[in-house]
């Protein structure tokens, strides 16, 4: 079986190019550029890298950054006040709280403080509710990025069996709903699912988002399936070298799957692209 690699990096560049042009035209018309505020609390090193990537990509597209980096011991109340201020700030079209937040803070309550129209991460209960209802609204970035990859490769979805490994609010739950919307038959699996391999072997579309390095191996994959690896894990080998790997064991799945996303260069670059796309969408609504 020859496996087609799904190049998320190239797709991200293509979409970001289109968004750059759209932002240029809209900014001229509106007399201002779109604005995105990323609230980052504490010093989680992974968050630092994510926030840096988001800011860099936004600037490239012409979005103004209103980011705030706060100390880990910032009180919940102060953070909620900051979000309320940002909700009222007309220069800011999108707000997100980088997760996870340090212990002692309630990340979910912070997300709920964001006005649903500015919730460019699509994590507010109103936007998740709209997704459940199949209504238009801001949708979470990583699952939207996965859907864009599947669409670009013209992978058939209707009537196919999609198996989702992982049940997070950030990825697992929403991607299952998006696949259901495209008429897939969806099975959710997780850490307590017995005989996981039996289910993954039945998947025409296999979405893996569990945060366990290389746990999906070739024998767990149906020949010809589309395998989407959402995991980003930094591992250290026995020689002390570190590298990024996904939740899918790339080597053993290659040549079994029909389509496969690499790590890095697969889903990762699409997350930030969808964040930009959501910010532009929110900007468009605001200047209408
Ligand atoms: N942490 C890891 N991924 C994400 C994301 O997409 N959004 C937020 N807010 N936090 C994250």
Mean pLDDT of 105-129: 98
Q: How far is the CA of 46 from the centre of ligand 1 (A)?
A: 10
pLDDT tier, 1 (very low <50, low <70, confident <90, very high otherwise): confident
* Candidate from 44, 110, 121 with most ligand 1 atoms within 8 A of CB, to mutate: 121
For 10-27, how does the pLDDT look when each residue is reduced to its tens digit (9 = 90+)? 999 999 999 999 999 999
Task: Give me the pLDDT at residue 198, please.
Answer: 98
270 lines ligand 1 (CB under 6 A): no
Give the predicted TM-score (pTM) of the model.
0.96
Task: Give me the pLDDT at residue 140, please.
Answer: 97
Tell me the HSE value of 97 on the side-chain side, using a 13 A CA sphere.
28
Mean pLDDT of 203-231: 98
Q: How far is the CA of 31 from the centre of ligand 1 (A)?
A: 30
171 lines ligand 1 (CB under 6 A): no
Mean pLDDT of 124-153: 98
* Candidate from 45, 47, 50 with most ligand 1 atoms within 8 A of CB, to mutate: 50
- Going by CA atoms, what residue is nearest to atom 9 of ligand 1? 98
Question: Does 129 score more than 90 pLDDT?
Answer: yes
Taking the domains of the chain in order of start, what are their residue ranges?
Answer: 31-123, 141-267
Task: Tell me yes or no: is domain 141-267 CATH 3.40.50.720.
Answer: yes
Mean pLDDT of 121-127: 98
For 30-71, how does the pLDDT look when each residue is reduced to its tens digit (9 = 90+)? 999 999 999 999 999 989 999 999 999 999 999 999 999 999
3-state SS assignment for residue 119: strand
Strands 242-245 and 233-236: antiparallel
Name which CATH class applies to 31-123: alpha beta
124 backbone φψ class: left, alpha, beta (φ>0; ψ -120 to 50): beta
Question: Does 89 score more than 80 pLDDT?
Answer: yes
- Going by CA atoms, what residue is nearest to atom 2 of ligand 1? 99
- Going by CA atoms, what residue is nearest to atom 11 of ligand 1? 99
- Going by CA atoms, what residue is nearest to atom 8 of ligand 1? 98
For residue 278 the two structure tokens come to 């959501």
Q: Are 217 and 253 in contact (CB under 8 A)?
A: yes
Tell whether the torsion through CA atoms of 29, 30, 32 and 37 is positive or negative. negative
Task: Give me the pLDDT at residue 58, please.
Answer: 96
For residue 214 the two structure tokens come to 């290389």
Q: Are 273 and 145 in contact (CB under 8 A)?
A: yes
The continuous run of DSSP H or E covering 228 comes out as: strand 226-229
Question: Does 134 score more than 90 pLDDT?
Answer: yes
Domains 31-123 and 141-267 share a fold: yes
């Amino acid at each position: 079986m020859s496996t087609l690699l799904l190049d998320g990096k190239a797709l991200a560049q293509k979409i970001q190019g289109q968004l750059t042009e759209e932002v240029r035209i809209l900014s001229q018309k509106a007399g201002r550029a779109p604005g995105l505020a990323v609230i980052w609390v504490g010093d989680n090193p992974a968050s630092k890298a994510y926030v840096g990537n988001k800011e860099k990509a936004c600037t490239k597209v012409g979005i103004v950054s209103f980011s705030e980096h706060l100390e880990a011991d910032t009180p919940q109340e102060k953070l909620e006040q900051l979000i309320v201020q940002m909700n009222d700030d007309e220069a800011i079209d999108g707000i997100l709280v980088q997760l996870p937040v340090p212990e002692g803070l309630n990340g979910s309550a912070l997300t709920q403080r964001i006005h649903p129209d500015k919730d460019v991460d699509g994590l507010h209960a109103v936007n998740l509710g709209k997704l459940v209802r199949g209504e238009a609204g801001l949708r979470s970035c990583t699952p939207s990025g996965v859907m864009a990859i599947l669409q670009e490769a013209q992978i058939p979805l209707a009537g196919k069996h999609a198996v989702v490994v992982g049940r997070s609010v950030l990825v697992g739950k929403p991607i299952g709903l998006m696949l259901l919307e495209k008429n897939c038959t969806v099975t959710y699996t997780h850490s307590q699912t017995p005989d996981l391999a039996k289910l993954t072997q039945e998947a025409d579309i296999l979405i893996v988002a569990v945060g366990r390095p290389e746990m999906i191996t070739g024998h767990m994959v149906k020949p010809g399936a589309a395998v989407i690896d959402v995991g980003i894990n930094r591992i250290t080998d026995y020689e002390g070298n570190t590298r990024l790997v996904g939740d899918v064991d790339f080597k053993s799945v290659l040549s079994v799957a029909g389509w496969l996303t690499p790590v890095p260069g697969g889903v990762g670059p699409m997350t930030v692209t969808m964040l930009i796309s959501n910010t532009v969408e929110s900007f468009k609504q605001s200047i209408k």
